[in-house]
Amino acid sequence: MIEPEYLKRRNSLVISPNLGHPLYIGIDSRLKQRKFEIKLLFASNIPNLTNFEGFLTKNLKLVPILEYKWKLTKLLEKTKKKGIWDKLKSFFFRGKKRRQETQEIKEFTDSKGDTFDIVQREKLEKLKPRAFRGDIIDCVVLNVQNAYEREIDNPEYDDYLSPQNYLVKHEIFGSLNKFYSATINFSLTDEVIEFLKSFNFVMFDILQQNPNKGDRINYHSIVISKNDWVNFKFLHATDLHLAERNDRIYEIVKKWQKSVRKSEVGEIVAQSVKAVSYFQRLLMKKPEEKVETTKPLSKRYINPNNNFRNFIKQANKSVNQNDLDFVVLTGDIIDFSILSKINKEKRKTLDFNYDFSNWRIFKEILLNHPQKMRRGMITGDELLCPIFTIPGNHDFRPYHYDLRWGNLYKKIGLNGNEAIALNDELMANPISSITKNFRALKAYLIEINSSLDFSLKLGENIFIFLNSGSDSFKNIIDFVSGHPSVTGVSNKQIRYLEDLINKTIKPGDNTFLMVHGPPINPKKTMSKRFSLSKPKDKMPSLKEFKESIMEKMGELPSAIRINDKFDLKFGTISSNWAKIIKFCLDYSVLTLSGHTHQLKEFRLTNPQQKSINPNTAIPVKLTKLENPAVVYYDYYSERLKNQKEVEINAPFVVQTPALGLGSYHKPVLAGAYREIIIEKGKLTSFQVKYVKR
């Protein structure tokens, strides 16, 4: 494996906490505490602990992430407060002051070097939220220890400080294969304390300086929060499908529209069909008969990257109003790993290098780093709140795919001819496009989140993040139809859940399970074995079994439930399914997933018709049951109007529609996310919202 220069020139990297797995620290609302201690995990090529400690000393800093409008307000407040002597000077030196007016400072910079304009006081309210790096804070290294590989089912596993085997097995950090943990001490500045008087939390970048070899920055990695986690809000987004090519498609199609006459379209289509291989034809659906459309491309094309940029802008408005605490992203963050516009020879030497990866695109959008502006792109902002991430099946895919396969172009608002126009620049290899490779996650594990599975406890709320794996080829028909299963949850992950049940989850806790592949995903129509007397074209559909509709018809609960009428495992996790359902029923108040790009919501009840205390037997083991739960279907997030109704009907297993892509039939419904509200320690709402386009 080829080690990139970025890793070769490093002696060590902070690998945890990081952007997609930040560390939360609580602070009293009166802000009396100033000094804090935290532990960081490092990967290094320094074999001796003492030498590593010496290398680390004075190299670690924290950079607080404040807000431009707040900082500007503070600056204007200082200039407004003038003493008697200042007023006298301004009176006697009026002429000189007028001469100096042209020399007044019109801008200021933060510790990162970013430039900010100073605006008039009356324009403050119109300013949009923007990140501002405060004064750098020095860190003192107190203690350094060896860190040892531990898997998640090891009782001594630590979510932040235990490097897992896959980091070494797949040589994710190259020659940096020695792990250390370091305890560091730091003190908050007056600037940060002042900021916390106005906001619920403050984030910090971890800056690891390395003279002559380049700095390492773990963005948004430390969070100090005043929240007692009784009342809070977070957002769930999934299936972003970010890629560099998303920002290029609009420009390519517009150029094609301009250069090609309508009379030439048929000839281009015919030539394209001849060039398509037999394997590709298998993946393609029958071409549309109607390819003309009256809407202009600007009204139709859905750029997943722009959806994420708009999502960040909406989230930032809530952050500035102290109405949002964090964001959860559950997989398919990128569409594929390696950038599509790279020649074959170049790919052989890349080895999933971050600079040539769509993980770079994700990070650039999230942090609003400079990107080449193209036609149809919108400007972005840096996200002003923490995020937590887990991968999805697309995140394991190395290479791009042809948007004509399965008529996928429909999901971004294109027609068939426009999809063909992309081929010259975005031709896909039919074999490599459906492969999967763990190293496609390499840049993700280095730059975003080194943990594939982890948990977080905030107050009496437990958040569990499980990796549901790559594509499963157990059912190739599901894959070709655009509904691939995922490899599912391993036995090791089940043991991890059991350990959390026995050591962390307490009665009365709110437990939220985050997973990409949905635990429940029924087929659209009833299974043949449940309705043998009806012909296939008259099979009842899932929407006919909405609980609210069936209740109005006077149906009994036994007729309403769907678990005995539909195949619930269509395009879902393909291993340990029953045990996951059992966990969702007994321990999770809300399970959040994606993958299908659709809005589906289910509630679970116990099949034994009586309440069972899940904590009666210690230690608890998740058992495989033939019928682990009774399942009902409806749009519960819309139907249930208050906290009491939510509590009575819980637990829920839901699919959130995609943020990046819509469905085949409703591509305009892209840009979805879910808003989860907890009030007085109880789940109150989990409604779906849409970004403004």
The residue-averaged pLDDT of 665-672 equals: 76
In a domain, 681, yes or no: yes
Percent of the chain with pLDDT over 70: 83
For residue 76, the model assigns a pLDDT of 81
Q: Are 379 and 358 in contact (CB under 8 A)?
A: no
User: For residue range 205-251, what is the model confidence (pLDDT) as tens digits?
Assistant: 999 988 767 789 999 999 999 999 999 999 999 999 999 999 999 99
The three-state DSSP-derived secondary structure of 8-50 is: HCCCEEEEECECCECEEEECCCCCCCCEEEEEEEEEECCCCHH
Phi, psi of 146 (to 5 degrees): -70, 140
- Rg from Cα positions in the chain: 27
For residue 534, the model assigns a pLDDT of 55
Q: What is the CATH number of the domain that holds 466?
A: 3.60.21
Question: Is the pLDDT reported for residue 31 higher than 80?
Answer: yes
In a domain, 327, yes or no: yes
Phi, psi of 356 (to 5 degrees): -110, 25
Of 497, 510, 525, the C-alpha closest to 652 is 510
Q: Positive or negative, the Cα torsion across 364, 367, 372, 378?
A: positive
Q: How far is 211 from 214, CA to CA, in rounded Å?
A: 6
Phi, psi of 218 (to 5 degrees): -95, 100
Question: Is the pLDDT reported for residue 27 higher than 50?
Answer: yes
Q: Which residue has the tokens 């003192």?
A: 140
| 389/510 same-domain check | yes
| 495/409 same-domain check | yes
For residue 311, the model assigns a pLDDT of 97
For residue 278, the model assigns a pLDDT of 46
Total number of domains in the chain: 2
Q: How far is 433 from 429, CA to CA, in rounded Å?
A: 6
For residue 93, the model assigns a pLDDT of 52
Q: Angle between the 577-586 and 491-503 helix axes, to the nearest 10 degrees?
A: 20
For residue 285, the model assigns a pLDDT of 52
In a domain, 103, yes or no: no
| 219/309 same-domain check | no
369 against 96, higher pLDDT:
369
Q: How far is 185 from 140, CA to CA, in rounded Å?
A: 5
| 211/356 same-domain check | no
Q: Mean pLDDT score of the chain, rounded to an integer?
A: 85
Side by side, which strands form the sheet with 600-605?
A: 454-458, 461-466, 510-515, 590-593, 652-655, 600-605, 630-633
Q: Confidence band (pLDDT; 50, 70, 90) for 265?
A: low
Which residue among 166, 200, 226 closes a domain?
226
The residue-averaged pLDDT of 324-333 equals: 97
| 308/221 same-domain check | no
User: For residue range 431-443, what is the model confidence (pLDDT) as tens digits?
Assistant: 777 788 999 999 9
Q: Are 565 and 527 in contact (CB under 8 A)?
A: yes
Question: Is the pLDDT reported for residue 653 higher than 90?
Answer: yes
Q: Confidence band (pLDDT; 50, 70, 90) for 98?
A: very low
The residues pairing with 458 across neighbouring beta strands, listed in sequence order, are: 461
| 211/319 same-domain check | no
Q: Are 442 and 172 in contact (CB under 8 A)?
A: yes
The residues pairing with 186 across neighbouring beta strands, listed in sequence order, are: 36
For residue 280, the model assigns a pLDDT of 52
| 213/337 same-domain check | no
User: For residue range 455-500, what is the model confidence (pLDDT) as tens digits?
Assistant: 999 999 999 999 998 887 665 555 555 556 677 799 999 999 999 9
Percent of the chain with pLDDT over 90: 56
For residue 530, the model assigns a pLDDT of 55
Say which range, 18-32, 39-53, 183-197, 344-358, has the weakest mean pLDDT: 344-358
Question: Is the pLDDT reported for residue 94 higher than 70?
Answer: no
The three-state DSSP-derived secondary structure of 390-459 is: ECCHHHHCCCCCCCCECCHHHHHCCCHHHHHHCHHHHCCCCCHHHCCCHHHHHHHHHHCCCCCCEEEEEC
pTM of the model: 0.90
Question: Is the pLDDT reported for residue 382 higher than 70?
Answer: yes
User: For residue range 161-177, what is the model confidence (pLDDT) as tens digits?
Assistant: 999 999 999 999 999 99
Which residue among 194, 226, 258 closes a domain?
226
User: For residue range 597-652, what is the model confidence (pLDDT) as tens digits?
Assistant: 999 999 999 987 655 555 556 688 887 777 789 999 999 999 999 999 999 999 99
- Give the C-alpha distances (Å, rounded to integers) separating 385 from 199, 223, 603: 11, 9, 30
Q: Confidence band (pLDDT; 50, 70, 90) for 308?
A: very high
In a domain, 108, yes or no: no
**Amino acid of residue 336:** F
| 362/471 same-domain check | yes
The residue-averaged pLDDT of 538-559 equals: 84
512 against 435, higher pLDDT:
512
Of 390, 386, 242, 380, the C-alpha closest to 302 is 242
Q: How far is 442 from 173, CA to CA, in rounded Å?
A: 8
User: For residue range 120-164, what is the model confidence (pLDDT) as tens digits?
Assistant: 777 788 888 899 999 999 999 999 999 999 999 999 999 999 999
For residue 85, the model assigns a pLDDT of 47
- What's the domain range around 631? 236-243+303-521+568-690
Q: Which residue has the tokens 């020399």?
A: 103
260 against 392, higher pLDDT:
392
For residue 309, the model assigns a pLDDT of 97
Three-state DSSP class for 68?
helix
Which residue among 226, 251, 281 closes a domain?
226
For residue 476, the model assigns a pLDDT of 53
In a domain, 447, yes or no: yes
User: For residue range 58-80, what is the model confidence (pLDDT) as tens digits?
Assistant: 889 999 999 999 998 888 887 65
Tell me the helices (H) and strands (E) count for the chain, helix number first. Answer: 24, 26
Phi, psi of 284 (to 5 degrees): -90, 145
- Give the C-alpha distances (Å, rounded to integers) separating 692 from 241, 315, 385, 598: 18, 12, 19, 19
In a domain, 451, yes or no: yes
In a domain, 552, yes or no: no
| 307/180 same-domain check | no
Of 504, 484, 294, 488, the C-alpha closest to 405 is 484
170 against 5, higher pLDDT:
170
Count of Cβ atoms closer than 10 Å to residue 400 Cβ: 24
Say which range, 19-33, 286-300, 384-398, 678-692, has the weakest mean pLDDT: 286-300
Question: Is the pLDDT reported for residue 275 higher than 70?
Answer: no
| 508/621 same-domain check | yes
For residue 105, the model assigns a pLDDT of 54
Q: Confidence band (pLDDT; 50, 70, 90) for 415?
A: confident
In a domain, 180, yes or no: yes
